[in-house]
Structure 1
Amino acid sequence: MYEVLRLRDLPFFQTVQEILSFYTCPPTCPAICCKVTDIDVDEKDRKILKKAAKGNTTMIKPSTEYESRHYKINPPCPFLEHDKCSVYHRRPTICRLFPFNICHNPEALILYPCDVGASLFDDFIDYSNCVLRQPISEKMISDFRQSHSSFTLETDRDLPIAMIGIEISDLVPFKKYLESK
């Protein structure tokens, strides 16, 4: 039997952290990330949150989606206070990836159209044009930008959110592109 890797142990985690270091949430961020998606946590994240919550972890429910011990926090996140994370320095691993998130394709990550995701996407468009020489389709750009402009409205109405997939194999070259800018 093999050991189940934690999300932060996956090869792309550090690269995503380095990419995200180029971006910051604006002070007016409405914390959509904490209001729209389930928050998956592993045993280690659960223990960290238990300390942060002073033992009150009733909001962290066991999840049967994975073979190993995993848990889920349903939105909105109970650690969200006045649109700010009250456990920011102890937040779960999945939160440290946002606006990236895991998708069903193991070769890609999805990108949410929040303000940081939109800024990142603009840089990714430049990267695709300049480095990959494979422009992103105008329809995809238009759909993502339209989704970004109505992101808050869509989440309030429980409408679908247009997101894009970014190949994991593009993360390291994209990070190097950002470093060179």
Structure 2
Amino acid sequence: MEISTAVKKVIHYNVVQNILKHYQCPETCGAHCCSTGQIHFFEDEVKVLTVLNKEKAKNITSEGLYAGLYQMNTPCSFLNTSGRCEVYDSRPTVCGMYPFKVNTSGTSLGLQPCPIGFLIIRDFAEWIVDTFSRSGVTDEEIVRIKEEWQKNVESYEAELTEFHFKPLLKEMQIPFDELEMLSMFLSSKKYAVHNIESKKSA
């Protein structure tokens, strides 16, 4: 089994994809993750990119600290003149995860405060409040939870200001099991909106 395939299973890559399909980078996105961020690849991913464009793949170098790990010299050479990925369907694991980021906990993923990251955390807060509202807790507790998550969302939104220039970013940590629940919540939310729109057009 290729290393990238094994890693994807561990980090719940498919769940992340089910979440990210509900979002789209805004036209104003400056592709900061690809032009200024650290982009690491596995050896099998480097081979794929080399087949796609050998010349551009020369910008990939050995990471140095870990065997089998490589790094793209930024900005990514696979960005086109519009700042969009030319190899999107074959993009490496780290690119497919963003704005989610693997950490060392082994139980959660970090969520970076880019524009999409903010939309995700806003929906995550909505899911948390919705879940507690259905769980039979007191009205006072629901109010407290709403206020707590409103502060979390506002704090996260503040990180959006020139986030690509900050040496340290405030990441929201989301446990793997809650990622699964968020994915289901987003799907049910989309289904509900679709039904409402269908009834309006009927």
TM-score, normalising length from structure 2? 0.76
Residue 161 of structure 1 aligns to a residue whose secondary structure is coil
Q: Report what 2:152 is aligned to.
A: 140
In structure 2, runs of 5+ residues without a counterpart are: 134-144, 190-202
Distance in 2, Cα, partners of 1:140 & 1:34: 27
Amino acid aligned to 1:174:
L
Aligned: 1:79 with 2:78 = yes
8 Å Cα contact 1:7/1:94 also seen in 2: no
Report the more deviating stretch, 126-135 or 42-51.
126-135
Aligned: 1:26 with 2:34 = no
Once the two structures are TM-superposed, the CA of residue 165 in structure 1 deviates from its matched residue by 1.1
1:38-86, CA deviations, whole angstroms, 9 ceiling, x for partnerless residues?
Answer: 11111111011111223542211112443x4111113321212221112
Q: Report what 1:105 is aligned to.
A: 105
Q: Report what 2:49 is aligned to.
A: 49
Residue 76 of structure 2 aligns to a residue whose secondary structure is coil
1:8-47, CA deviations, whole angstroms, 9 ceiling, x for partnerless residues?
Answer: 2325111111111111112222112112321111111101
Distance in 1, Cα, partners of 2:111 & 2:54: 33
Distance in 1, Cα, partners of 2:105 & 2:14: 19
In structure 1, runs of 5+ residues without a counterpart are: none
Amino acid aligned to 2:154:
S
- Report the structure, 1 or 2, having the larger strand content: 1
Residue 9 of structure 1 aligns to a residue whose secondary structure is helix
CA RMSD of aligned residues (A): 2.4
Larger radius of gyration: 2
TM-score, normalising length from structure 1? 0.84
- Report the structure, 1 or 2, having the larger helix content: 2
Equivalent runs, 1:8-19 vs 2, <5 Å: 8-10=8-10, 12-19=12-19
Once the two structures are TM-superposed, the CA of residue 143 in structure 1 deviates from its matched residue by 1.9
How many pairs does the alignment contain? 175
Distance 1:28 1:56, change over 3 A: closer
8 Å Cα contact 1:80/1:86 also seen in 2: yes
Q: Report what 2:175 is aligned to.
A: 167
Indicate the percent of aligned positions where both proteins have the same amino acid: 28
